[in-house]
Amino acid sequence: MKTLNRLMILLAGLFIWSACDEDGDKYFLSSLTSNELIASTDNIVLTEDIAHKNVLSLAWTDRTLAVSSPDFKPTDLLKTAMQVSMSEDFSGTVEESTETSLSKTYNAAELNIVASNLGAEANVASKLYFRLKGTTGNNIAPAYSNVEAVTVTPYKLDTRFATVLDQNSNSTGTMLFSIEDKGVYRGFVGVDAWFNFLVKEANGTVWRNDNETGMPFLLTTAGDWKCWFPGISGCYYITFDTGNKQWSGLSIPSLNVSGDIEAQLVFDKATRKWSVGFNAATAGDVSIQIGGTGKLYDHTCAKANGSGGYDIDDSKAKDTPVAFSGNSTALAFGTTATNLTVHIPQTGDCTLTLDLSDSHVWTATVTQGSVDPEPELSQYLYLPGIGPDDNWTYDRKIELYYKEEQKYAGVVDVNSKWGNYAFSSSDAWDGDKMYTLANDDAASTAESGTLVKGANKNITAPATGLHLFEVSLKDMTYKTSPVGNNIYCYYGIEGDNNLYPIAATSTPGEYSGTITLPQNSNWGVKFYIYNDWTGAYGGSEGKLYYNSNSGFALQAGTYLVTVNLISGTYTTTQH
């Protein structure tokens, strides 16, 4: 078997850190004094408490590897993969992942899935072996790096739960629950119209819409399509059946309360809670019923369109009674309402809350006082003052791309009349929805800084031209980076890790050029703002998505590609 001719030293040292935790834990890799794969630790105990904490980093040097074979040409492009096994000689089960950078970092949940899939026993220390595999796709046998051994103690995977991911494969924070642990997951979600999503099981399997038929509500683990909801936002009860490879969504537009309390509940998508305020004449236990009528959507609602695909036909959705039974601390969901006993703590203003945020434990409670629902997170942040107008206008904006972390990003054409601006979650003047700098802030710059809520000190605008703006309202920070005269296209073809430049046109934010794919795109076409694999945009159906892991499929051929980073759109025309 041919071997790797070790890795060329391109960096004097490399360190990798994790910013996932508020405590800012860092993982430092010592300088690469040899050409080997190295690991940040050799012993890890995994627990659910640190599921999202980075626990293991592996690093190597340049991914263009020299293979000791006379058939290998300098122009050959090497595809790199990380392999993990419980066998030191990799003769047993092997977990493999494609890598396009110079490092690989696992958080505890990811490493636990790898260990579980390899057959490691929960709560028992087992050795996992890591190595790099290099292939060129031209019939040269694979080459391998040195092997790094890491002792890992995994925790037991709870396969009753599955995670709802957004279109960028980020967790939405919503979990589904399988009562019998047989791959049929259920739960309540709060979504926007046409919301695109994936579902990830505890073992790492990701389910998506079947892209062979294109029919909504049918499932597969292959391809790059996402599942999507109908064009109606709000509360849905979904059943996700991986065995029969289909899912359904029961839209619940309203819920009524009857009995000792008469009211209509209001749904808050962000918290997945229904609530209503009322004036209690007496305190103590009362009896109520909660129910309504929903619309059931499944694959029978699919309607062929004129483009060879399918739409969701709202007229085919089935009217379905919805109701809650059981007791107020452990509700059951079904079609028939029963009496529920809730306790009113005092007379006067009170709030009844139906809490569906837990994956399988739902409650109805009454609290004293009025509780206003949490405000919806704006889809856009506007940048008044960043343009050339005498008065601040709200015609430039960036878009929410990671709801859970409240992260926004977008490319903006900067030409500030007054040299300063603000961020606003409203498209009109509202001081309470502004994000600016603290009045005594002397550290923030045009390139980066710390935000405060309210109309305070304006932010210094970057130089005239295109800039990428990235904002986190969770961390209250912002960052800007200039955008050049080229963006870069990744073809998503096995063995081709090049980034191909596409030049700017005379239209601000627009880039256009010809690309030629010698074969079908394996992993989907993506665009990068910078020639170092940063500033990534995936896409689907002409819409770009910042920081997306999913590219769009293209068949082999020559295309005119036009990308507009300001509007977040792309077109492809085959020659």
What is the per-residue pLDDT across 501-518, written as a single tens digit (0 to 9) for each? Answer: 999 999 999 999 999 999
Report the pLDDT value the prediction gives residue 558, as an integer from 0 to 100. Answer: 96
Please answer whether residues 271 and 357 qualify as being in contact, where contact means their C-beta atoms are separated by less than 8 angstroms: yes
Please answer whether residues 401 and 547 qualify as being in contact, where contact means their C-beta atoms are separated by less than 8 angstroms: yes
pLDDT by residue (tens digit) across 191-202?
A: 988 889 999 998
Question: Which residue has tokens 């060329």?
Answer: 8
Please answer whether residues 363 and 374 qualify as being in contact, where contact means their C-beta atoms are separated by less than 8 angstroms: no
- Per-residue confidence at 463, pLDDT binned at 50, 70, 90? very high
> Averaged over 356-363, what is the pLDDT?
94
CATH 2.60.40.3620 at 380-482, yes or no: yes
Helix (H) or strand (E) holding 558: strand 557-564
Report the pLDDT value the prediction gives residue 28, as an integer from 0 to 100. Answer: 31
Cross-strand partners of 462: none
Q: Does pTM surpass 0.85? A: no
- Residue 23 predicted with pLDDT over 80: no
Question: Nearest CA to 28 among 36, 40, 37?
Answer: 40
- Per-residue confidence at 43, pLDDT binned at 50, 70, 90? very high
- Residue 73 predicted with pLDDT over 60: no
- Residue 34 predicted with pLDDT over 70: no
Please answer whether residues 369 and 352 qualify as being in contact, where contact means their C-beta atoms are separated by less than 8 angstroms: no
Question: Distance between CA 247 and CA 227 in Å, rounded?
Answer: 9
Where in the chain are all domains bearing CATH 2.60.40.3620?
161-250, 380-482, 486-574
> Averaged over 205-231, what is the pLDDT?
92
Report the pLDDT value the prediction gives residue 74, as an integer from 0 to 100. Answer: 43
Question: Distance between CA 342 and CA 327 in Å, rounded?
Answer: 9
CATH topology of domain 16-153: Immunoglobulin-like (2.60.40)
- Residue 434 predicted with pLDDT over 70: yes
- Per-residue confidence at 251, pLDDT binned at 50, 70, 90? very high
Question: Percentage of the chain surpassing pLDDT 90?
Answer: 63
- Residue 172 predicted with pLDDT over 70: yes
Report the pLDDT value the prediction gives residue 144, as an integer from 0 to 100. Answer: 86
> Averaged over 275-283, what is the pLDDT?
94
Lowest mean pLDDT, pick from 125-129, 253-257, 426-430: 426-430
Task: Report CA-CA distances (Å) from 372 to 4, 228, 280.
Answer: 62, 30, 17
- Residue 27 predicted with pLDDT over 80: no
DSSP state, residue 322: E
Question: Distance between CA 563 and CA 575 in Å, rounded?
Answer: 17
Using alpha carbons only, give the angle 73, 75, 78 rounded to the nearest 5 degrees: 85
Report the pLDDT value the prediction gives residue 138, as an integer from 0 to 100. Answer: 59
Amino acid present at 205: T
Question: Distance between CA 400 and CA 416 in Å, rounded?
Answer: 23
> Averaged over 26-55, what is the pLDDT?
70
Cross-strand partners of 400: 408
CATH 2.60.40.10 at 486-574, yes or no: no
Show the tokens assigned to 248: 């359904």
φ, ψ at 364 (rounded to 5°)? -125, 120
- Per-residue confidence at 211, pLDDT binned at 50, 70, 90? confident
Question: Would you state the torsion angle of the CA atoms of residues 158, 162, 167, 169, taken in this order, to the nearest 10 degrees?
Answer: 10
Question: Distance between CA 424 and CA 302 in Å, rounded?
Answer: 39
Using alpha carbons only, give the angle 165, 169, 298 rounded to the nearest 5 degrees: 45
Long-range CB contacts (within 8 A, 24+) of 263-267: 263/352, 265/290, 265/352, 265/354, 266/373, 267/190, 267/234, 267/235
Question: Distance between CA 20 and CA 17 in Å, rounded?
Answer: 9
Those residues with Cβ within 8 angstroms of residue 289's Cβ, 6 or more apart along the chain or in another chain: 257, 258, 259, 323, 337, 338, 339, 340
> Averaged over 489-508, what is the pLDDT?
92
Question: Nearest CA to 322 among 297, 295, 298?
Answer: 295
φ, ψ at 177 (rounded to 5°)? -130, 135
Task: Report CA-CA distances (Å) from 510 to 466, 503, 562.
Answer: 10, 9, 7
- Per-residue confidence at 375, pLDDT binned at 50, 70, 90? low
- Per-residue confidence at 243, pLDDT binned at 50, 70, 90? very high
The stretches of 91-151 forming alpha helices (DSSP H) are 108-118
Report the pLDDT value the prediction gives residue 187, as an integer from 0 to 100. Answer: 96
- Residue 11 predicted with pLDDT over 70: no
Lowest mean pLDDT, pick from 49-63, 275-289, 440-454: 49-63
> Averaged over 54-64, what is the pLDDT?
74
> Averaged over 380-385, what is the pLDDT?
96
Lowest mean pLDDT, pick from 56-65, 244-253, 460-469: 56-65
Report the pLDDT value the prediction gives residue 32, as an integer from 0 to 100. Answer: 33
- Residue 71 predicted with pLDDT over 60: no
Please answer whether residues 431 and 455 qualify as being in contact, where contact means their C-beta atoms are separated by less than 8 angstroms: yes
Show the tokens assigned to 185: 């997951």
- Residue 374 predicted with pLDDT over 90: no
Long-range CB contacts (within 8 A, 24+) of 541-545: 542/569, 542/570, 542/571, 543/568, 543/569, 543/570, 544/568, 544/569, 544/570, 545/167, 545/168, 545/401
- Per-residue confidence at 72, pLDDT binned at 50, 70, 90? very low
- Is beta strand 330-334 parallel, antiparallel or unpaired with respect to 284-297? unpaired
Question: Distance between CA 455 and CA 452 in Å, rounded?
Answer: 9
- Per-residue confidence at 139, pLDDT binned at 50, 70, 90? low
Report the pLDDT value the prediction gives residue 371, as an integer from 0 to 100. Answer: 67
φ, ψ at 136 (rounded to 5°)? -110, -10
pLDDT by residue (tens digit) across 81-132?
A: 899 999 999 999 999 988 877 788 898 888 998 998 899 999 999 999 999 8
Show the tokens assigned to 297: 């959507």
Counting every residue, how long is the chain? Answer: 575
> Averaged over 474-486, what is the pLDDT?
95
Average pLDDT, the chain: 86
Question: Distance between CA 107 and CA 100 in Å, rounded?
Answer: 18
Report the pLDDT value the prediction gives residue 269, as an integer from 0 to 100. Answer: 87
* Three-class DSSP category at 433: helix
Report the pLDDT value the prediction gives residue 377, as an integer from 0 to 100. Answer: 80
Question: Which residue has tokens 């961390």?
Answer: 475
- Residue 408 predicted with pLDDT over 80: yes
> Averaged over 43-71, what is the pLDDT?
72
Question: Percentage of the chain surpassing pLDDT 70?
Answer: 89
> Averaged over 490-506, what is the pLDDT?
92
- Residue 484 predicted with pLDDT over 50: yes
Question: Distance between CA 532 and CA 525 in Å, rounded?
Answer: 16
Cross-strand partners of 479: 448, 470
- Residue 75 predicted with pLDDT over 60: no
Domain 161-250 - what CATH class? Answer: mainly beta
- Per-residue confidence at 9, pLDDT binned at 50, 70, 90? very low
Question: Distance between CA 411 and CA 469 in Å, rounded?
Answer: 6
Question: Distance between CA 439 and CA 458 in Å, rounded?
Answer: 9
CATH architecture designation of domain 252-293+301-368: Sandwich (2.60)
Please answer whether residues 197 and 203 qualify as being in contact, where contact means their C-beta atoms are separated by less than 8 angstroms: no
- Per-residue confidence at 141, pLDDT binned at 50, 70, 90? confident
- Per-residue confidence at 430, pLDDT binned at 50, 70, 90? confident
pLDDT by residue (tens digit) across 326-336?
A: 999 999 999 99
- Tell me how far the alpha carbon of residue 513 is from its chain's centroid: 29
